């Protein structure tokens, strides 16, 4: 296939519009490259697209319109086009939606924007002042470098009018320079640490893998604090030495700033960042520079997989078991799986790092598809915490209290020693349910089948499904009794209240995503806690994700049973991972830690596996159960959710789909449902769910596509197909 189209040649252009067809256009004046980002006319509009190949020519040539212009960005590479195509096939996503993911750069169509920069000029000022001297000194100190007005004013400690005065006399020259500048080149040999033998051996294996320039995936397993990050940074270093680009995916924006600091210490400069907490300007710069190869390392959220890398050599998925890697909105993809796909196409290496790998990755190691490296001990003096269960059946505790006497005593002991305790509860807000003591009514969201959660901090009730909030009523909406509404069950805010009552002199900090308006506020809060500005930390799952609190020596898990309930097939796995992660927060520095789990079922196999620390036993038992049930990772599943404001419509279509299942039966797959989804209504849309199960080797996607194509959807109805569903709501 040719890579260049001359003016007037027919080209096929994929647009991000929901058309699901590649449209023919004539190449513009000057021609265009295969993969070029272009602007094309579509009806009365101008839309963005990518030249996907030669045109089909099944349309009257005279009527075919011209590409309006080629955008000033590097053409999409063939690996990227392949990646989008295969990812679309795997997730049954329309190509237009895939392209939207790949073009989420602000101002993509704009000409490269310019900004004013200032450097030393040749003129002489009419008179010198102290301020003027300072400016000229700064510029001389930095040789030929140029600065923005703000930078220069700050460095010289003068106002911008001083600089403008110098410009007038030509002593400082003002020039236009492109706004998007290359990222500093990271130095792979800048600040490496001396590795332990264990770590060095692991780093060596990864370095060789990266240097081989071939595809491979390695599971890097090691308890929290064993140095996984140090080890994979060595793989990043090797990738940089090879002149290729590296990507590190993190599950949580709140973790990035700590990580960026480590990158800077290791490589001398900050990497490029890509996530929702980054400004538009910086995101545009990142997208463009990644495409030009002028960003060696990107640290980002899952969508960073869709950046236009020039030569991606390594993808690290940190905390690979984390559920936030599964995108549950819009395009339903799992970033971990897509990382493997992308690496395959790019001849790149993948490192999956975790203290508690997913059963999927564990099974892939078992099957010989992934390599495995294990770091067995924690770095330095830190050891794994002692784990114990508190049997809540025998604790003396009133119904509205959550911290058992045993846990209270443990906290008190920490307070006396000046150490930190963490109370972990995976429930945001004050209380999960608000109930009327007179009639039993529970306050629910008006748009969803979900109960409203009381947030005292915000002084409102909030729906955790749709985000709807309303003021806390004083009268029961059902029986109109006054002042009879009361909270049931614990949330982090209520825990904070209880802790304050129990330990009035302790400094108590709540760490929950609701309490921080911005990633920055959260970051500052975390830094303060790390320094020791709190005695008791009360947190949701946010704290389980890799923060390092050196003074923390006790973790109390308020309700270890929470995750074991429910119909989710991964409930046991999640609980196991979460408990181990949380326990990993305790005793990271020199002081040994202890983790205590409050449970009503201390004999439950998951609780016992956590206490016993016997991971292999847990994984083996869990794998055997999943194998027997034929569910992932030993079987394949797809969830289909139909939603509509009209309840009849969704059930009718669901029933019709279940009945006409020939394409699925042909591959031996089974359909379950339709059934109301666990949350049967979200934002006023009724939801019905079907579940498809197939053997591991079955061609599920093709069968699903053929099956779904049989039905005509009413315009009000939406169908979402989720391959390998993670959550069942
Ligand atoms: P993990 O990623 O497995 O949780 P980290 O790489 O974050 O572990 O290591 C935990 C802590 O120990 C970090 O502060 C890290 O800098 C430090 N550390 C790990 N290995 C070494 C080493 N070889 N030399 C010095 N410090 C180390
Ligand atoms: Zn709601």
Separation of CA 237 and ligand 1 centre (Å): 16
Q: How far apart are CA 463 and CA 469, in angstroms?
A: 6
Q: Please, is 139 exposed, middle or buried when counting C-beta atoms within 10 Å of its C-beta (0-12, 13-18, 19+)?
A: buried
Cα distances (Å, whole numbers) of residue 552 to 350, 385, 421, 531: 33, 11, 6, 11
Has residue 207 got a pLDDT over 60? yes
Q: Report the nearest-CA residue for atom 22 of ligand 1.
A: 195
Residue 600 confidence (pLDDT): 85
Q: How far apart are CA 642 and CA 653, in angstroms?
A: 8
**Secondary structure (H, E, C), 630-663:** CCCCCEEEEEEEEEECCHHHHHHHHHHHHHCCHH
Q: What are phi and psi of 475, to 5 degrees?
A: -115, 140
Q: How far apart are CA 223 and CA 492, in angstroms?
A: 27
Phi-psi sector, 319: left (phi>0), alpha (psi -120 to 50), beta: left
- In ligand 1, the atom with minimum distance to the C-alpha of 196 is 23
Classify each residue of 427-465 as buried b or exposed e, where b means 16 or more C-beta atoms within 10 Å of its C-beta. Answer: bbbbbbbbbbeeeebebbbebbbbbbbbbbbbebbbbbb
Are 691 and 637 spatial neighbours (Cβ–Cβ below 8 Å)? yes
Ligand number with the minimum distance to the CA of 685: 2
- In ligand 1, the atom with minimum distance to the C-alpha of 195 is 23
- For the chain, the distance separating the N- and C-terminal CA atoms, rounded to the nearest angstrom, is 45
Separation of CA 302 and ligand 2 centre (Å): 26
Cα-Cα-Cα-Cα torsion 332, 336, 341, 343, nearest 10 degrees, comes to 140
- For 620-626, the CB contacts below 8 A with 24+ separation are 622/359, 622/572, 622/573, 622/576, 623/359, 623/362, 623/363, 623/366, 626/359, 626/569
- In ligand 1, the atom with minimum distance to the C-alpha of 224 is 4
At residue 305 the predicted structure's pLDDT band, cuts being 50, 70 and 90, is very high
pLDDT digits (tens, 9 = 90+) for 391-426: 988 898 887 788 999 999 999 999 999 999 988 887
- In ligand 1, the atom with minimum distance to the C-alpha of 584 is 4
Numbers of helices and strands, H then E, in the chain: 20, 31
- In ligand 1, the atom with minimum distance to the C-alpha of 199 is 23
Q: How far apart are CA 510 and CA 530, in angstroms?
A: 13
Ligand number with the minimum distance to the CA of 375: 1
Q: Report the nearest-CA residue for atom 14 of ligand 1.
A: 225
Are 105 and 287 spatial neighbours (Cβ–Cβ below 8 Å)? yes
Residue 728 confidence (pLDDT): 60
Cα-Cα-Cα-Cα torsion 552, 553, 559, 560, nearest 10 degrees, comes to 120
Cα distances (Å, whole numbers) of residue 220 to 202, 433, 533: 8, 40, 33
**Secondary structure (H, E, C), 121-183:** CCCCCCCCCHHHHHHHHHHHHCCCCCECHHHHHHHHCCCHHHHHHHHHCCCEEEEEEECCCCC
Ligand number with the minimum distance to the CA of 446: 2
At residue 380 the predicted structure's pLDDT band, cuts being 50, 70 and 90, is low
Has residue 517 got a pLDDT over 70? no
**Helix (H, G, I), strand (E, B), or coil: what is residue 683?**
coil
- The set of residues, in sequence order, having a beta carbon less than 8 Å from that of 488 and lying 6+ positions away, is 431, 432, 433, 434, 435
- The set of residues, in sequence order, having a beta carbon less than 8 Å from that of 682 and lying 6+ positions away, is 447, 448, 449, 450, 465, 466, 643
Residue 589 confidence (pLDDT): 55
Has residue 257 got a pLDDT over 80? yes
Whole-angstrom Cα Rg for the chain: 29
Q: With a 6 A CB cut-off, is 200 part of the ligand 1 pocket?
A: no
β 23-26/32-33 pair status:
unpaired
Has residue 515 got a pLDDT over 70? no
Half-sphere exposure for 447 (CA within 13 Å, toward CB): 14
Has residue 687 got a pLDDT over 70? yes
Smallest CA-to-CA distance from 102 within 92, 87, 90 is with: 87
Ligand number with the minimum distance to the CA of 463: 2
- The reported pTM is 0.79
Q: With a 6 A CB cut-off, is 195 part of the ligand 1 pocket?
A: yes
- Could you tell me which residue, 511 or 546, shows the higher pLDDT? 511
Smallest CA-to-CA distance from 431 within 350, 352, 493, 485 is with: 493
**Mean pLDDT over residues 10-28, rounded?**
91
Residue 568 confidence (pLDDT): 62
Residue 604 confidence (pLDDT): 81
Kindly state the percentage of the chain with pLDDT values over 90. Answer: 43
Has residue 43 got a pLDDT over 60? yes
Separation of CA 465 and ligand 2 centre (Å): 5
Q: Where are the beta strands (DSSP E) in 362-507?
A: 371-375, 386-391, 420-424, 433-436, 453-455, 460-462, 469-471, 485-488
Please, what is the average pLDDT of the chain? 86
- β partners of residue 70: 38
Separation of CA 378 and ligand 1 centre (Å): 8
Q: How far apart are CA 126 and CA 442, in angstroms?
A: 78
Are 667 and 623 spatial neighbours (Cβ–Cβ below 8 Å)? no
Has residue 1 got a pLDDT over 60? no
At residue 698 the predicted structure's pLDDT band, cuts being 50, 70 and 90, is very high
Smallest CA-to-CA distance from 456 within 498, 422, 396 is with: 498
Ligand 1 pocket: which of 199, 220, 230 to mutate (most atoms <8 Å of CB)? Answer: 230
- β partners of residue 38: 49, 70
DSSP letters spanning 290-331 = HHHT--SEEEE-GGGGGS--SSEEEEEEETTT-GGGB--SSS
- The set of residues, in sequence order, having a beta carbon less than 8 Å from that of 451 and lying 6+ positions away, is 432, 433, 434, 442, 443, 444, 445
Has residue 189 got a pLDDT over 60? yes
pLDDT digits (tens, 9 = 90+) for 72-122: 888 999 999 999 999 999 999 999 999 999 998 877 777 666 778 888 888
Ligand number with the minimum distance to the CA of 461: 2
Ligand number with the minimum distance to the CA of 469: 2
Q: How far apart are CA 406 and CA 396, in angstroms?
A: 9
Ligand 1 pocket: which of 194, 219, 227 to mutate (most atoms <8 Å of CB)? Answer: 227
- The set of residues, in sequence order, having a beta carbon less than 8 Å from that of 591 and lying 6+ positions away, is 419, 551, 553
Going by the DSSP 8-state scheme, the letter that residue 558 receives in this structure is: S
Separation of CA 649 and ligand 2 centre (Å): 21
At residue 279 the predicted structure's pLDDT band, cuts being 50, 70 and 90, is confident
Has residue 567 got a pLDDT over 60? no
Q: With a 6 A CB cut-off, is 665 part of the ligand 1 pocket?
A: no
Separation of CA 677 and ligand 2 centre (Å): 15
Separation of CA 678 and ligand 2 centre (Å): 14
Has residue 381 got a pLDDT over 60? no
Has residue 729 got a pLDDT over 60? no
Ligand 1 pocket: which of 259, 379, 382 to mutate (most atoms <8 Å of CB)? Answer: 379
CB atoms within 10 A of CB 81: 23
Of the listed ranges 158-167, 270-279, 679-688, the least confidently predicted one is 679-688
Going by the DSSP 8-state scheme, the letter that residue 682 receives in this structure is: E
Q: With a 6 A CB cut-off, is 196 part of the ligand 1 pocket?
A: yes
Smallest CA-to-CA distance from 666 within 635, 702, 639 is with: 702
Are 174 and 224 spatial neighbours (Cβ–Cβ below 8 Å)? no
Residue 179 confidence (pLDDT): 73
Q: How far apart are CA 474 and CA 242, in angstroms?
A: 66
β 685-695/718-723 pair status:
unpaired
Has residue 330 got a pLDDT over 60? yes
At residue 673 the predicted structure's pLDDT band, cuts being 50, 70 and 90, is confident
Has residue 335 got a pLDDT over 90? yes
Q: How far apart are CA 535 and CA 352, in angstroms?
A: 34
- In ligand 1, the atom with minimum distance to the C-alpha of 262 is 16
Residue 400 confidence (pLDDT): 78
Q: Report the nearest-CA residue for atom 19 of ligand 1.
A: 227
Residues with CB under 5 A from ligand 2 (ion): 445, 447-448, 463, 465-466, 468
- In ligand 1, the atom with minimum distance to the C-alpha of 546 is 4
pLDDT digits (tens, 9 = 90+) for 460-498: 888 776 777 888 888 888 888 888 887 877 788 888 999
Q: With a 6 A CB cut-off, is 346 part of the ligand 1 pocket?
A: no
- The set of residues, in sequence order, having a beta carbon less than 8 Å from that of 513 and lying 6+ positions away, is 428, 522, 540, 542
Q: With a 6 A CB cut-off, is 199 part of the ligand 1 pocket?
A: yes
Q: How far apart are CA 139 and CA 147, in angstroms?
A: 9
**Mean pLDDT over residues 428-453, rounded?**
77
Residue 408 confidence (pLDDT): 96
pLDDT digits (tens, 9 = 90+) for 705-719: 999 999 999 999 999
Going by the DSSP 8-state scheme, the letter that residue 710 receives in this structure is: T
Ligand number with the minimum distance to the CA of 470: 2
**Mean pLDDT over residues 186-205, rounded?**
92
């Amino acid at each position: 296939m040719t890579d260049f189209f001359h003016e007037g040649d027919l080209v096929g252009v994929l647009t991000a519009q929901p058309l699901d067809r590649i449209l023919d256009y004539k190449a513009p004046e000057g021609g265009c490259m295969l993969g070029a980002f272009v602007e094309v006319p579509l009806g009365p509009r101008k839309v963005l697209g990518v030249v996907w190949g030669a045109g089909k020519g099944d349309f009257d040539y005279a009527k075919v319109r011209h590409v309006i212009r080629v955008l000033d960005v590097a053409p999409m590479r063939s690996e990227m086009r392949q990646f989008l195509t295969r990812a679309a096939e795997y997730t049954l996503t329309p190509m237009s939606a895939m392209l939207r993911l790949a073009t989420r750069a602000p101002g993509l169509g704009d000409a490269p924007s310019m900004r004013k920069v200032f450097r030393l000029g040749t003129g002489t000022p009419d008179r010198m002042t102290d301020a003027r001297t300072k400016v000229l000194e700064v510029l001389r100190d930095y040789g030929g470098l140029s600065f923005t007005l703000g930078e220069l004013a700050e460095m010289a400690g003068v106002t911008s009018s001083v600089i403008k005065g110098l410009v007038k006399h030509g002593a400082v020259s003002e020039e236009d320079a492109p706004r998007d500048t290359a990222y500093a080149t990271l130095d792979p040999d800048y600040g490496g640490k001396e590795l332990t033998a264990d770590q060095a051996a692991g780093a060596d294996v990864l370095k060789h893998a990266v240097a081989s320039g071939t595809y491979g995936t390695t599971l890097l397993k090691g308890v929290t604090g064993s140095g996984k990050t140090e080890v994979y940074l060595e793989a990043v270093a090797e990738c940089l030495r090879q002149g290729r680009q590296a990507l590190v995916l993190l599950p949580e924006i709140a973790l990035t700033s700590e990580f960026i600091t480590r990158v800077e210490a290791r490589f001398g400069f900050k990497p490029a960042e890509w996530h929702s907490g980054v400004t538009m300007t910086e995101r545009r710069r990142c997208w463009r520079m990644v495409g030009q190869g002028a960003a060696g390392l990107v640290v980002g959220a899952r969508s960073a997989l869709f950046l236009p890398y020039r030569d991606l050599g390594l993808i690290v998925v940190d905390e690979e078991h984390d559920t936030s890697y599964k995108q549950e909105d819009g395009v339903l993809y799992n970033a971990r799986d897509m990382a493997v796909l992308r690496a395959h196409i790019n001849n790149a290496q993948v490192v999956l790092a975790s203290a508690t790998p997913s059963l999927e990755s564990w099974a892939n190691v078992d099957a010989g598809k992934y390599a495995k490296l294990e770091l067995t001990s924690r770095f330095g003096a830190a050891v794994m915490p002692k784990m114990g269960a508190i049997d809540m059946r025998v604790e003396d505790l009133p119904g509205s209290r959550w911290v058992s006497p045993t846990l209270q005593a443990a906290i008190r002991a920490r307070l006396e020693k000046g150490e930190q305790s963490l109370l972990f509860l995976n429930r945001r807000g004050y209380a999960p349910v608000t109930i009327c003591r007179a009639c039993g009514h529970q306050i629910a969201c008006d748009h969803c089948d979900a109960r409203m959660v009381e947030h005292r901090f915000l002084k409102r009730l909030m729906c955790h499904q749709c985000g709807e909030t309303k003021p806390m009523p004083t009268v029961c909406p059902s029986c109109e009794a006054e002042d009879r509404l009361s909270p049931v069950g614990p949330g982090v805010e209520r825990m904070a209240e209880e802790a304050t009552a129990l330990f009035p002199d302790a400094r108590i900090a709540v760490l929950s995503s609701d309490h921080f308006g911005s990633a920055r506020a959260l970051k500052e809060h975390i830094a303060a806690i790390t320094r020791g500005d709190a005695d008791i930390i009360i947190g949701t799952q946010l704290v389980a994700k890799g923060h390092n609190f050196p003074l923390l020596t006790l973790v109390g898990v308020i309700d270890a049973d929470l995750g074991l309930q429910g119909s989710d097939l991964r409930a046991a796995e999640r609980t196991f991972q979460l408990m181990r992660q949380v326990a990993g927060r305790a005793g990271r520095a020199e002081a040994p830690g202890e983790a205590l789990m409050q449970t009503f079922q201390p004999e439950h196999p998951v609780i016992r596996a956590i206490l016993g620390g016997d991971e292999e036993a847990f994984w083996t038992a869990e794998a055997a159960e999943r194998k027997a049930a034929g569910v992932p990772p030993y079987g394949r599943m797809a969830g289909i959710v139909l939603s509509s404001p009209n309840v009849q419509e969704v059930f009718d279509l669901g029933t019709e789909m279940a009945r006409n299942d020939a394409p699925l039966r042909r591959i031996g797959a089974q359909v379950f449902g339709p059934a109301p989804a666990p949350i049967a209504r979200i934002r006023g849309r009724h939801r019905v769910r079907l579940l498809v199960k197939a053997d591991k080797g079955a061609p599920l996607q093709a069968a699903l596509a053929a099956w779904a194509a049989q039905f005509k959807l009413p315009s009000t109805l939406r169908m979402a197909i989720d391959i390998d569903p993670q959550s069942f709501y």
